[in-house]
Chains A and B, each alone.
Chain A
Amino acid sequence: MFRLLEIGLPVALVLRLTTVAVTLALARHTSWCRRVTLGGSIVASVVTVGVSIRVLASGIAIDGVLLRHVASAMVFGYVITPLSAWFLLVLGLVAVPVAAYSVGYFAHAIAPSRTAGVGIGLNVLLGAIEVVFSASDVIGFLFAWELMTLATAGLVATDHEARTSRRAAFLYLVMSHVGTGCLVVAFLILAAKSGSVSFSVLLAGPIVARPLRDGLFVLFALGFGVKAGMIPLHVWLPEAHPAAPSSISALMSAVLITTGVYGLVRVCAFGLGIPAVSWGFALMALGTLSAILGVLYALTQNDIKRLLAYSTIENAGIIVLGLGAAMTALGYARRDLATVAVVASLAHVLNHAVFKGLLFLGAGSVVMATGTRELERFGGLMRRMPWTGLFFLVGAMAIAGLPLLNGFVSEWLTFQALLLGFTSTSGLLRLNFPLSGALLALTSALAAACFVKAFGISFLALPRSSAATDAHEAPLVMLVPMASLAVLCVVLGFAPGLVLRMLSGVTTSLPGLTTSTNLVSSGLGLASPLPSFDHLVPPIFGVALVGSLMVSAVVAARTGLTIVRRAPTWGCGGELSAQTEYTATAFSKPLMMIFRAVYRPTQEVEALAEVSPYFPHEVRYRAQIEPTFERYVYGPLLRAVLRAADGMKGLQAGSLHAYLAYVLVLGVLLLLWLGGTS
């Protein structure tokens, strides 16, 4: 069994390829095709989880050869380091429930003619991400990176009749390729300087000197930042994530963004030599910006999938903030701080994947049941979809960073890292740490408000439309995967030591961190009184909370038989209806007013009256927030590109003579240049 895991990654990839082939063959038999493609995907993901747990448990990397191209003598190898294994584990833990959920979801939500396409896309995407996490050389990495981009673009465009889907896919492709372009340039520079395309040489330390190294950092940060959804490179994310089928959105939000994070960790933090302090602060600033703007934009969204997509930007920000703190610490050669910060960042990668996967699956069930993504058309779903509601609530509480759930753990760690950063560095710059901490606190409180809205408006009170009234609970095959993710949220929140035990293998394998293998009981962060990390939210506090809950039940239980009287809610003198309920727009209105400097909202109210202006029979309200980045960053950029293209039109006039002249001029110039150098 263990011997088999040694070659687990190739096995998983072969499984995925076989699945793709069989899916193609069965394309006409929709229901078989669906079962095969998703079943194969589940088996392959389970193998991946097995391999990654083996590497994390032993702390020893597994390497091997994926493909040997005889003619060009090229060898594409892989190496699963503990860091790769961590990301593979995150991928597997989400991919299994997502695929299982899709068995039910595809049957209802994907047109039969597209099942094969989506299934193939899913398998190719997962396989490509697996190679991204484990490629041992630049060529294989970039190939897989591109394959991943294309597969995602195809999945985003599943519903290609809709103009918005096509646009989202196009935007995603453009942004991704700008990012990939940056990566190609940066890797080429590194490869030229080191004379090798293997990561073991390329990313072994400082290959180039400072000014160029800074330039490389910027290129890599841009390239990986696009995938991680960092603001201001995020513009594709809120378009592309909602456009894809919901279970694919779950995968994109939970796993796809982690490829960017993996790149940042692997290359920017640990691949270019000891990072400069300024790099760390730059990433901290970008992370904080992404977190706070991400959650602010999420708050005003009334489309549930867009809301979740913006919240992904927020969480990516928190991850990058932790990583930035780690890089700053590496720059200052503070091992203990760097370790806490890396652990915080990587733990949040897992936690975010689990709760965001859960939330997207929950949203998928709701969208499937109601046929709309508008929060304002949900309502009252708790009675119609009790289980989906419960699981969504667990996810919402986890993402709000509430104790006893997993979101709290990584936020706690990030706060620890930031406070420790303040005490263990000196100078004015260290004020950055508590300031980021304050903004992180704001972020998590706003996230709580955001998910009170997302859950409360969707699942509670009266149905707001006939679609919500007629909604039905999702089938068991979709509920079980959600249940497993919800359980994972609780388990990881209650036993955070589990995560840390696995992460200690990762931290020992990375240069510049503490080599102590016992992270769990070494006491993390600021004079931590914790005898061991298992006590972060110690079971005794959980017992206290449950005990208090029982006390409250006892206190509130009336002596004698308690008969609850049911009465209608007071409708302020009128009939209580969906119209009198508080809306999603109204819920976020105070925050929209308070942060109007960020949103720059435009709103118009129009009252239609027939008799007297004091008795309008209809009031129309329209509010819009300004797409700041799209308008002020990408707008001018786009116009400049178009202008440049316009200017260059003259060069490519379609005249053969002109082209021959270019060749001639180029030839002469080359000859002159060569003659000059020799």
Chain B
Amino acid sequence: MSFVGVDGLRAVFAILQAAGMLAAAPLLKAVIKKMKARLQNRQGPPLLQVYYDLAKLLHKEPVRSETASWVYVAGPRVYFAAAIAATTLVPVLMATAPLEAAGGILLLVGTLALGRFALATAALDTGSAFGGMGASRDMTIAALAEPALMLGLFTSALAAGSLNLGGLVRSVLHNGVTFHPSDLLAFAGLFIIVIAETGRIPVDNPATHLELTMIHEAMVLEYAGPDLALVEWASAVKELLYLTLLADLFMPTGIGTSTAPGAIAVAFVAWAGKVFLLAVAVTVAESTNAKLRLFRVPELVSISLGLAFLALAIRFL
């Protein structure tokens, strides 16, 4: 992989990939919304509506609470920055991540945690009970999801012998996708975690603004205008990132191993197809389930933890 030999090239690669993910992320949200609407026999908003909404929010006047300090302003910005920075750690079209030399999976999880920390802290700044409620619930669910996420990632990492996402993808490519039972279990476990981390039903409902049930929405309830746009956009990037990660870990087939335009084109189609399939899975899960009570979420997450542990045990014992 001499592809990322030069620092300058690497930086260009990182910027291109981050820009691409930023541009594509709202579309994923739109596709899921559209499919969900169709499943409910509705027409649904046009695909570009998400982009229009973002543009509208970005042009609005920022309104901020009188009680808030600079932490409130910093929250969405750090959240957004962490999401962008995280995209540079994940292989998307190439079997190597732009900033591969960094701390790998652990840095990815840590960077996303940084964004979450910033947003949850900022949510406490307005003095509204909603912000606190959202922050408390979001941190709770994140804390519960963390061990299952890590154990799932560890299973893949140990099988590949690398904690580095690029190395991991290359190892799976090299060995071929086998649909080993352990992979299937780990995939199921991580899929649950992705649902929890991206705030989808049955863990959270991204469409609700009902006091008692919102989690992520409660946390960002006070944000308006450009601040809100950043949060929405970053959440979309995060979702795309998680789906890409799932595709990378379990089925990197088609991902580019050279910079030839043909290989990149194939990789793009393969990536888009895989993310679309995962989006279908998310949509179906969201449309066929009811939102769980907050205190039932631990049960769901422990199922995921159990699956991850079984995957590990099957793989290595």
Contact with B along A456-476 (1 / 0, CB 8 A): 110111100000000000000
Q: How far is the CA of A503 from the CA of B164 in the complex (A)?
A: 25
Main SS class of interface, B: helix
Contact of A541 (CB < 8 Å), options: B107, B132, B144, B167: B107
Contact of B127 (CB < 8 Å), options: A411, A549, A576: A576
Residue A582 at the chain B interface, CB threshold 8 Å: yes
Residue B257 at the chain A interface, CB threshold 8 Å: no
Q: Are A594 and B81 in contact (CB under 8 A)?
A: no
Say how far B291's CB is from chain A's closest CB, in angstroms: 16
Count how many pairs of residues, one from A and one from B, have CB atoms less than 8 Å apart in the complex.
298
Residue A188 at the chain B interface, CB threshold 8 Å: no
Q: Are B113 and A402 in contact (CB under 8 A)?
A: yes
Say how far A44's CB is from chain B's closest CB, in angstroms: 38
Q: Are A448 and B76 in contact (CB under 8 A)?
A: no
Interface residues of B in 269-305 (CB under 8 A from A): 294-295, 298, 305
Give A415's nearest chain B residue, CB to CB.
B106
Which of B63, B124, B157 has the most A CB atoms < 10 Å from its CB?
Answer: B124
Say how far B36's CB is from chain A's closest CB, in angstroms: 27
Q: How far is the CA of A427 from the CA of B46 in the complex (A)?
A: 56
Residue A567 at the chain B interface, CB threshold 8 Å: yes
Residue A397 at the chain B interface, CB threshold 8 Å: yes
Residue B65 at the chain A interface, CB threshold 8 Å: yes
Residue B230 at the chain A interface, CB threshold 8 Å: yes
Q: Are A452 and B142 in contact (CB under 8 A)?
A: no
Q: How far is the CA of A232 from the CA of B113 in the complex (A)?
A: 30
Residue A593 at the chain B interface, CB threshold 8 Å: yes
List, in ascending order, chain A residues with CB within 8 A of B298's CB: 594
Segment from A15-23, A203-211, A434-442 that makes contact with B:
A434-442
CB contact under 8 A between A397 and B117, given known A403-B111, A529-B101, A569-B66 = yes
Contact of A545 (CB < 8 Å), options: B85, B120, B127: B85
Q: Are A537 and B129 in contact (CB under 8 A)?
A: no
Interface residues of A in 378-431 (CB under 8 A from B): 380, 382-383, 393, 397, 400-404, 408, 411-412, 415-416, 419, 422-423, 428, 431
Q: Are A569 and B120 in contact (CB under 8 A)?
A: no
Say how far A593's CB is from chain B's closest CB, in angstroms: 6
Residue B204 at the chain A interface, CB threshold 8 Å: no
List, in ascending order, chain A residues with CB within 8 A of B14's CB: 544
Residue B28 at the chain A interface, CB threshold 8 Å: no
Residue A581 at the chain B interface, CB threshold 8 Å: yes
Q: Are A438 and B61 in contact (CB under 8 A)?
A: no
Q: Are A590 and B294 in contact (CB under 8 A)?
A: yes
List, in ascending order, chain B residues with CB within 8 A of A565's CB: 61-64
Q: Are B67 and A569 in contact (CB under 8 A)?
A: yes
CB contact under 8 A between A587 and B136, given known A438-B147, A526-B162, A571-B128 = yes
Contact with A along B62-77 (1 / 0, CB 8 A): 1111111111100011
Interface residues of B in 65-95 (CB under 8 A from A): 65-72, 76-78, 80-85, 88-89
Residue B58 at the chain A interface, CB threshold 8 Å: yes
Q: How far is the CA of A583 from the CA of B10 in the complex (A)?
A: 46
Segment from B148-156, B176-184, B239-247, B258-266 that makes contact with A:
B148-156
List, in ascending order, chain A residues with CB within 8 A of B255's CB: none
List, in ascending order, chain A residues with CB within 8 A of B164's CB: 527-529
Say how far A412's CB is from chain B's closest CB, in angstroms: 5
Q: Are B124 and A419 in contact (CB under 8 A)?
A: no
Residue A607 at the chain B interface, CB threshold 8 Å: no
Contact of B85 (CB < 8 Å), options: A527, A544, A569: A544
Q: How far is the CA of A557 from the CA of B230 in the complex (A)?
A: 11
B→A interface (CB under 8 Å): 7, 10-11, 14, 18, 58-72, 76-78, 80-85, 88-89, 99-104, 106-107, 110-111, 113-114, 116-117, 120-121, 123-129, 131-133, 135-137, 139-140, 142-151, 154-155, 157-158, 161-164, 166-167, 222, 225-227, 229-230, 233, 294-295, 298, 305, 308-309, 312-313, 316-317
A→B interface (CB under 8 Å): 380, 382-383, 393, 397, 400-404, 408, 411-412, 415-416, 419, 422-423, 428, 431, 434-435, 437-439, 441-442, 444-446, 448-449, 452-453, 455-457, 459-462, 525-531, 535-538, 540-541, 544-546, 548-549, 551-553, 555-559, 562-572, 576, 580-583, 586-591, 593-594
**Other than the known A422-B154, A540-B99, A555-B230, what 18 A-B pairs have Cβ atoms closer than 8 Å?**
A400-B113, A438-B150, A445-B113, A449-B139, A453-B136, A455-B121, A456-B125, A460-B69, A461-B67, A529-B100, A535-B102, A541-B85, A548-B81, A557-B226, A565-B63, A567-B64, A582-B124, A594-B140
